[in-house]
Structure 1
């Protein structure tokens, strides 16, 4: 990509995913893990299960998705990419590299090398590379320190020189609103923003206005960068006594999720904001497999873990 002035960067998105000249920018976060599978177990879902998932996402009668986000450059993600390629599915991918302060230097470097390989091996499918998920926000359990930013910028430079798609970082608004985010943002092709009204103690009626304000606040702080929304959603269950779930004051139910989903999706579509709703399917491994199924971490999907649709996608409007 050639360097452009700030005005042209602002007016012409760097990341504008399309299939056959049709915009597919309303994406969704996807994990292939079925009940009993998890990253800790190094599970790789079957081709049959992944094909079922992709069929659900691309042919659901209420809402369809042709853009997914995956988080780690690992065999589980490659199995999804292989399935998309083999069956010539109408699905594009933002492929992540899982970077973490709790991993060894070798493990982080392997994620970098693997995401480069995947981006080049699946050029017709991967449309963007995301280097890290919530790795700088203060509350992250796997966060890097501000002193690690030079190391991170070397990773960005390495990947940008080796792939032909836009490179980004996905992090919470409480990183992108900090002064030290500026150097990181300028090194990236665009910004991916996480903004959860539910986790930020917003009632349902204030959820989309809060998200919209947060989005515009971050755009104002990074005026020459496109801002995509990488995660926002509404859980259908929560347990107030379970740690940070005490922050949730909005109703956690399928009815509430549908209200948020429809209003949020309408705002995104009207403003042509590239986004990834969180998330496609409930994942029972999240929050710990020993924890009850009712905790929020296990209930962000618009489909249940058995792949049956929740209210949001039974009757949602396109």
Structure 2
């Protein structure tokens, strides 16, 4: 403390100068104050701590992006997976069309994928996923901890942290959880659990951290708590599920994107999924829910319009998805979930990519 005896009193001008320098020096340190979530709990970051998503790499914008899952015929998550050579084939294809890809999990193929990108010196950056599932299950009318789910979640989180730290030149962000909060989610996770995992990943890495969810969640007032926890927002906008034709896809995407940005005006909003499938089952549930035409021509119309708009507006957008995935959905060969790729399962291009196009 200052000695305030008369013979040691600091002249007023000196004191003011000292305080000015001292306050500037303190300004180099983070403020101890934290923002509050909607639940009144401290969030995982403050306004000054927000980590910017780096969408310029090596002097070029990398926001024209794609979702990637590598499973081919006879392969599936948790079962038989791709070989290193198959991953290399995929990544070489992707690197000719997109500078940025997104995955949904950090276990399985993720480590080898990053290794291939590094070894082959491919011009690819990665938003790495950590798949999160519910950790409670109902047993005989009561809720119990699902130990296997908890262990799987912890493995996803630990792996995402380790890979982001090991491949710092490649991993530009981590997305913890995918469609875990929207009302219709088939793997809905308690918000407090997701927040815990988001904070753990943020505390142990230096990259931006987020969670991905449907626009319906991000437009709901309840999403403010989650928005307080993330560095940027990933939203999914799928016109296919809303009875639209491809020619109206862009209008729908633009409208829902603007609603999300209005709900979170201070956040960077990235479109983490949008696209158009090329086949659907003409009977049953899909025939009723999906009224638009699903074919390669319609995919080209929808995706080209969306990509051109997103590039002009510099809105980072991940087209869903790079390759068809036969393991998804039911056993019907025309099941819509199997046919979102811009490439077929045999890695031949669909109509939209039949003309060779290098990334800019």
TM-score under structure 1 length normalisation: 0.90
1:34 aligns with 2:72: yes
Q: Quote the offset at 1:246 in angstroms.
A: 2.3
CA distance in 2, matches of 1:316, 1:246: 36
Instruction: State the partner residue of 1:98.
Output: 131
1:309 aligns with 2:354: no
Instruction: State the partner residue of 2:227.
Output: 185
Distance 1:16 1:202, change over 3 A: farther
Alignment partner of 2:112: what SS?
A: helix
CA distance in 1, matches of 2:54, 2:112: 25
Alignment partner of 1:93: what SS?
A: strand
1:45 aligns with 2:90: no
Q: Quote the offset at 1:189 in angstroms.
A: 0.2
CA distance in 2, matches of 1:32, 1:114: 18
Q: Quote the offset at 1:205 in angstroms.
A: 2.1
Q: Quote the offset at 1:244 in angstroms.
A: 4.5
TM-score under structure 2 length normalisation: 0.80
CA distance in 2, matches of 1:210, 1:254: 20
1:205 aligns with 2:247: yes
Instruction: State the partner residue of 1:14.
Output: 52
Q: Quote the offset at 1:133 in angstroms.
A: 0.5
CA contact (8 A) 1:258 1:316 kept: no
Instruction: State the partner residue of 1:224.
Output: 266
Q: 1:71 aligns with which of 95, 104, 110?
A: 104
Q: Quote the offset at 1:106 in angstroms.
A: 2.0
Please list the CA deviations of residues 216-239 of structure 1 after superposition, one character each: whole Å capped at 9, or x if unmatched. 001000111110000001000011
Please list the CA deviations of residues 74-115 of structure 1 after superposition, one character each: whole Å capped at 9, or x if unmatched. 021112111111211111110000001166222212211111
CA contact (8 A) 1:17 1:23 kept: yes
Q: Quote the offset at 1:284 in angstroms.
A: 0.4
| Bigger Rg, structure 1 or 2 | 2
Q: 2:113 aligns with which of 66, 80, 83?
A: 80
Q: Which runs of 5+ in 2 are unaligned?
A: 1-29, 36-46, 136-147
Q: Quote the offset at 1:245 in angstroms.
A: 5.1
CA distance in 2, matches of 1:84, 1:242: 42
CA distance in 1, matches of 2:315, 2:154: 32
RMSD: 2.1
CA contact (8 A) 2:212 2:234 kept: yes
CA contact (8 A) 2:177 2:194 kept: no
CA contact (8 A) 2:106 2:156 kept: yes
CA contact (8 A) 2:235 2:270 kept: yes
CA distance in 1, matches of 2:114, 2:287: 34
Spell out structure 1 runs of 4+ moving beyond 6 A: none
Instruction: State the partner residue of 1:252.
Output: 294
CA distance in 2, matches of 1:53, 1:141: 29
Instruction: State the partner residue of 2:175.
Output: 130
CA distance in 1, matches of 2:288, 2:109: 33
Q: Which runs of 5+ in 1 are unaligned?
A: none
1:284 aligns with 2:326: yes
CA distance in 1, matches of 2:51, 2:255: 20
Q: How many residues were matched structurally?
A: 302
1:108 aligns with 2:153: yes
CA contact (8 A) 2:219 2:260 kept: yes
